[in-house]
Amino acid sequence: MEGIKNAKYIDVVEGRYIARPTDPKHEMTLHDRASYYKLEKGTDINLALHAMAKAQNNAYDIAFVLSADTDYISLYHQLKNLGKIVIVVAVKGQTLNKVIPEVDDYIILNEAFFKAHLRNEEKIP
| 8 A C-beta contact, residue 33 and residue 12 | no
| 8 A C-beta contact, residue 39 and residue 17 | yes
pLDDT tens figures, 59-97: 999 999 988 999 999 999 999 999 999 999 999 999 999
pLDDT tens figures, 11-59: 888 778 888 889 888 888 888 888 888 888 888 899 999 999 999 999 9
Q: What confidence category does residue 125 fall into, taking pLDDT thresholds of 50, 70 and 90?
A: low
Q: Give all domains of the chain, ordered by start, each with its CATH number.
A: 1-41 (no CATH), 43-125 (3.40.50.1010)
pLDDT of residue 98: 96
